[in-house]
């Protein structure tokens, strides 16, 4: 099984034996083959750094090294992934066929120009890698702050907060003309902190969340949390609202729940097609109860660290445009 989420493919989830390879229609692809996912998630791209076989969900490119460098092809396919995806948009099951991808035209400058592009983009990718590594290090600082919270006093979340399980109204009550309350079904409208502006409203309200409530995603992906900035909203079955009863600062609880997301996921049920967590499981999450002063100190420390992460993420977000600028400089 091939995972093309990362630039370089260095290992696979499954292997095929030499005997199995002979009996199958699979082809063993050489190192530096460019792999392009052409079904389901169209446009994931990797460079194989091992010999590999793929199923029919990939279109793979073994480069003629006299004409095109595999790193250059990777950058062009990465840039044009959305355009290529649109080629299969009219099909019942979107897929990019071998014919479609074979006829797709790409710029082909001299090998010298290709190497200049690879070199300049390579500098950006090294910067990007270091930035991600820095974020991971900073996140470890947050984990340390959380791990240092005194563990002597813990209570079930259900004892210190009200948990409101979402319930979806019938779709006939939905609208986009701002009638009724804003309606949020799941984490689609989550940001780093606060819910984004609503896109859907409902004239029938099932379960309400009020301003300041913590909203948790209870269906895949499980455990993400946001704060509600609106006076009242209606929440669907993909969310629950968490409202403290005074023992905990809402912002402290939100910060703590963010930090234990992986633990929340492990609490969820392992469904055949998705993970979910029940109201009862959320109520039974163990939450530390430090003093109010300590809670404020913890929130202040973590907010400073998160501001650092935001600054780094903003610098990372500019890199794709900088890559495009390099390509334009040499190709237009």
Give the start-to-end residue ranges of the domains of the chain.
8-108, 109-149+292-332, 153-289
Question: What pLDDT sits at residue 226?
Answer: 96
Question: What pLDDT sits at residue 329?
Answer: 96
In the numeric block, which tokens belong to residue 311? 């600054």
Asked whether 72 and 117 are in contact (CB, 8 A), the reply is yes
Summarize pLDDT for 53-96 with one digit per residue, the tens. Answer: 888 889 999 999 999 999 999 999 999 999 999 887 666 678 89
Q: Would the CATH topology of 8-108 be identical to that of 153-289?
A: yes
Asked whether 241 and 259 are in contact (CB, 8 A), the reply is no
Question: What pLDDT sits at residue 270?
Answer: 47
Question: What pLDDT sits at residue 259?
Answer: 84
Q: Read off the pTM.
A: 0.72
Question: What pLDDT sits at residue 264?
Answer: 75
Question: What pLDDT sits at residue 18?
Answer: 73
Question: What pLDDT sits at residue 317?
Answer: 94
CA dist 148 and 308 (Å) reads 21
Question: What pLDDT sits at residue 4?
Answer: 59
CA dist 216 and 281 (Å) reads 13
Question: What pLDDT sits at residue 140?
Answer: 87
Task: Tell me if the bond preceding 4 is cis, omega within 30° of 0.
Answer: no
Topology of the domain comprising 8-108: Adenine-n6-DNA-methyltransferase TaqI; Chain A, domain 2 (3.90.220)
CA distances from 251 to 39, 115, 291 (A): 42, 50, 14
Q: Which residues of the chain have pLDDT under 50?
A: 1, 269-274
CA distances from 221 to 25, 216, 275, 276, 315 (A): 36, 10, 7, 8, 26
- The residues near 239 (Cβ < 8 Å, ≥ 6 apart) are 166, 184, 185, 186, 187, 209, 215, 216, 217, 218
Topology of the domain comprising 153-289: Adenine-n6-DNA-methyltransferase TaqI; Chain A, domain 2 (3.90.220)
Phi-psi category of 32—alpha, beta or left, where left has phi over 0 and alpha has psi -120 to 50?
Answer: left
Question: What pLDDT sits at residue 2?
Answer: 56
CA dist 160 and 247 (Å) reads 6
CA dist 4 and 215 (Å) reads 32
CA dist 210 and 101 (Å) reads 50
Phi first, then psi: give them for residue 189, nearest 5 degrees.
Answer: -100, 15
Question: What pLDDT sits at residue 89?
Answer: 67
């Amino acid at each position: 099984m091939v995972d093309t989420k990362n630039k370089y493919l260095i290992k696979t989830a499954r292997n095929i034996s030499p005997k199995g390879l002979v009996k199958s229609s699979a082809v063993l692809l050489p190192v530096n083959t460019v792999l392009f996912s052409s079904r389901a998630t169209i446009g994931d791209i990797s460079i194989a750094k091992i010999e590999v076989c793929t199923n029919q969900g990939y279109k793979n490119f073994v480069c003629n090294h006299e004409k095109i460098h595999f790193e250059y092809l990777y950058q062009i396919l990465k840039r044009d992934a959305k355009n290529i995806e649109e080629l299969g948009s009219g099909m019942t099951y979107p897929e990019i066929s071998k014919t479609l991808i074979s006829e797709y035209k790409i710029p082909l400058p001299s090998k010298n120009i290709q190497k200049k592009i690879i070199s300049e983009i390579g500098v950006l990718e090294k910067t990007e890698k270091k930035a991600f590594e820095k974020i991971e290090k900073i996140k470890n600082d947050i984990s340390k702050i959380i791990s240092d919270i005194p563990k002597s006093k813990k209570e079930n979340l259900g004892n210190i907060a009200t948990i409101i399980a979402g319930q979806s109204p019938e779709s006939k009550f939905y609208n986009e003309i701002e009638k009724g309350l804003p309606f949020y079904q799941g984490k689609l409208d989550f940001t780093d902190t606060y819910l984004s502006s609503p896109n859907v409203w409902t004239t029938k309200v099932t379960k309400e969340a009020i301003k300041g409530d913590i909203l948790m995603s209870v269906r895949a992906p499980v455990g993400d949390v946001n704060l509600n900035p609106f006076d009242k909203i209606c929440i669907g079955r993909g969310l629950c609202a968490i409202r403290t009863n005074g023992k905990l600062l809402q912002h402290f609880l939100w910060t703590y729940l963010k930090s234990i997301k992986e633990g929340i996921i492990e609490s969820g049920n392992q469904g055949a097609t998705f993970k979910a967590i029940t109201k009862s499981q959320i109520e039974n999450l163990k939450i530390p109860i430090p003093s109010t002063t300590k809670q404020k100190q913890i929130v202040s420390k973590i907010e400073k660290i998160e501001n650092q992460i935001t600054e780094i993420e903003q610098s990372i977000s500019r890199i794709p445009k900088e890559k495009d600028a390099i390509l334009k400089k040499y190709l237009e």
